[in-house]
Structure 1
Amino acid sequence: MCRAVLLLVVFSLSCPAAEALDNGLALTPTMGWLHWERFMCNINCDKDPDNCISEKLYMQMADVMVKEGWKDAGYEYVCIDDCWPSHDRDAKGRLQADPRRFPGGIKKLADYVHSKGLKLGIYGDVGKNTCAGYPGSLGYYEVDAQTFADWGVDLLKFDGCYMNWTLLGEGYVNMSKALNKTGKSILYSCEWPLYEWPYQKVRSVCQTKACHHFVVLRWSSTLTT
């Protein structure tokens, strides 16, 4: 049988504290599990069903975080990184999860995570594509923000690939406005440090710096007899 094992990994928590958007979110360090460190962009569920990016993975992680006491210790987010969407938007221009790997859709997954007393994070990109080549939010900020809100998403990790660097700050500001317009509290975690964009341009619209302030639980599976 398969046994789940959690390994604690801390990413760059030694960076100095900095002023950020003050709207009642992220008043304490944002802690949870993010899939990228262990699973990256593994979408081959036919050959590797136990280690691919799918709704099964996040449901299992939610179960483990509760069962093993990580939730009680303050790790509250189950976060999806890149490679979750379909390569095509739906007929109304909305993002959609890959139908084979997420047959229930993100709303069903969010409901499951919430039923465990946890929160769901999702990944998007300020540019025309994500870093792995999936649809980005450029030109769709309001559509995507409302889609995330409708699904019940609690956190957005927003990357910066495939974007003219001179427009990066403007893109982050526009998504912040779009998220606020939904009326739902969605923690906004911006990946701007990797793209060397001046902090002053985005500090008033982002709660956290995604690559610096996220405590991650890394998953591994071992076979036991």
Structure 2
Amino acid sequence: MQLQPAKPQSIKLPSTQTKPTESQKMVPVNEQACNAIQEIIKSLKYSLTEDVTNRKENITIGQLLKTNPRMHGNLIKHKIQSYLIEPTKSGFSLADLNIANNHENLFNTTCAKIIIDNKAIHCLIDCGPSECILNRKTKEILGLKIDSSSNTIFKLGNNSTAASLVILYNVAITIRNVTIPINAEVLETNPMRLIIGNNWLQKAS
């Protein structure tokens, strides 16, 4: 007598799948730890200017300034510290300009005594203006000759405007033993006898 194999029984799947009865639980977040990390990040003293000037990278400074134009002013302030300029009693030493509480309330100006045509004159060195500016009275005292008319209009600190009278070419400005000629604009009135701007600082760097 031969035994025949039993036929396999088919398994019927349900038409709809049952959903789990409990929803997935959210992983708890340690808010205290997150806040502590944020406080640590805030307390870190990081200077972008110091990082750029001290780090060797493949990117050039020119390319970096194009990607972050605001850094240009910071780099200028940083470079000014290397100049040896004799401050007046009411001025700040350039080496002390960037020394403040946690780099807050930084100064971008200083008073100094310079020499023009063997005459000592007190001036203001300012990172803000792009040109050197002196008032008409100072031009007359120094005996400087007019070289050209000017169409330049300056915006003053009180938001008013002042038109330049003339341009003086190659005014030789001497600080210590360094003499650098620079073009200067002449205003009718100016709070300081002379303001040295970025054009002189860039030549001196």
More strand by share: 2
Q: Which structure would you say has the larger RCO, counting Cα contacts within 8 Å and 6 or more residues apart? A: 1
Instruction: Point out the structure with max Rg over C-alpha.
Output: 2
TM-score under structure 2 length normalisation? 0.25
